[in-house]
Each structure stands twice: as C-alpha cells, then as structure tokens.
Structure 1
Amino acid sequence: MKFNDLLLGLLVLLGGVAIYVSALGFTDIPGQSYGAGTMPRAIAIFSGCLGLFMMGRAILEGARMPRLELAAWVRSRRSVLSALVALALIVFYIAAAPAIGFVPTSLVVMAALMLTLRTKPLTAIAVSILACIVIQQAFGRLLLVPLPRSEFLTFLW
C-alpha cells in the first residue's frame, strides 16, 4: 500500500501518543530523576513532532488524503511469500525462545529469513552465527538485558 505524508504523519503522531500514554505507567528509579519511562517518552515526543512535521509539510504541498492503492511488490508471489515467512518467523521466535533460548532460536530465524531472501547458504549461516553471538553479548552482557537462556549454550553467559 502507498500512503502520502499526510496519512503517514497521522499514523506516526498517533503512534507517538500511544507510546507516551503507555509510558506514563512506568515507575521512576528511586533516588534518580529519571526512570523506565524516560526513553519511551522521549521517543514518543520525537515521534509526535515528526508526525506533525510530516502532516504540516504535506498540507503545505497541497496533499489530500490518498486513495488506497497496493504497492507493486504485492503483485509478486515471491515478495508476498517472503513477507509471510517473516511473520511466521516472528511468531516462531515468540513461541520457541522461552523454551530453547535466544541463541538457537534467533540463529534459526535469521538463517531462515536470509535463505528465504535468496542469500547464499554459507553466507546466511555464517552471518547468523556471528550476529547471534554479537547480539547476545551486546544485550546480555553489556546492556544486561535478560535474554531467554539455553541450557546447552551456557558458555555464552
């Protein structure tokens, strides 16, 4: 689907409002002037300003609400299949990661997605392995984000 900046700006603005409202319930960190809602609120304010800017620019250019038209990629079976595979892999990650851990699940997801997008198999597997380890180390060790653990890959922690 193709949208002009007026409609896209409205969607970005509404997304920013939704993020801001949901971040209001986050608690502050004791003893500090910021908390868990600081970054989501900053992103929400930025999104709202971006949405207003997009809408204002579209109005100044004389844009009207667009009719709904499908993009060219929707006519390609391969592209639609790739999009469906990506959605299925997201569902697979959500369902499988708690049981088998982040590293094996994300390895399967990344490799399958790259193979679906016609990456060479050796490249897809190598990049998937490297990316999984780098992401796990960055989020698990540096940022201390609790990623789902694997019982048989404990050396990564």
Structure 2
Amino acid sequence: MRIVPPASLAALLVVTALPAAAVAAPPEADRAAQAAAALQNPLVQDGVAQTLTTLAGIILDTRVGPIAALADPAAGVRPGDTLRDVAHRDDPQFERHLYEKTRRSVATVGVVAGGVTQQVAEIDRTADRLKIALAPLMAALAPHRDAEPAADY
C-alpha cells in the first residue's frame, strides 16, 4: 500500500483549509494582506501546523488492515494496521517530519500570498494609470461608438 508523502499530505491539507478560511473572512481588500502577514508570523505557522498535524493524525488512525490481503505483499500491511503504522515503518519520525514540512509549507504559502497581494496592488495601480492615460482617447471615441453603422456598404 502506498502512503501519501508527508509533504504532499501537508500541501493537500493547507490547500483544503485555505478556501474555508477565505470564505469565513470578510471580502475586504485589506483582508488578503492581513492573511498573508499572519501566515508569515512564526506563531501562526506553528498553530496552523499543529492543527493540520492533528487533523492528519485523525486520518492516520484509519485502519487499513482490513484491506491487507489486497495490498502488495511487499508493502507489509498487517491485519491490525492503521495508516500511521504503515507510515512509521517507512519513517519512524513520520509525525515530526509531517509537522516540520507542514510548518514550512505554511511559511511558503505566507510568502507567496504576500507576493501575490503586493503584485495585485501593483497591477491595480497600473490599471488606474492606463485608464487615466486612455481617458482622452475613450472620450474622443465616445460619439463614434454610439453612432449608427453606415447603411451603404
């Protein structure tokens, strides 16, 4: 039986948790910047990593022994095994590694979110400058946009 690598599990849990957090947050523009800043805070990273590790622990307690007969014999899945048992055979420090990789993933999400937030603000400023620069042209074209198309072709 193949187990999802800890980094993939951590990324999956972070991606799963973020939409729920986004839905709960007010739609204010500053909210994204606040969330990005929070995700860059080591205390928040630790709290999120602890929470996701706890959630992963619940999943890891899933018994997989009943399908041992269906697993590849080389996987060594025994009748009483949980996902945690199988994961610990490959990595005795699995849970510590899961926490550490999850924390690093949260930190990376914080950095990415901060960069995206700053880039969106810069794109908004560029769009505003373009609107101002194009305003005279749009005003000059306005009478022609409303005119009826010529009937003779």
TM-score (norm 1): 0.28
Give the helix-richer structure, 1 or 2.
2
- Which of these two proteins has the greater Rg computed from alpha carbons? 2
Report 1 or 2 for greater relative contact order, CA contacts < 8 Å, sequence distance ≥ 6. Answer: 2
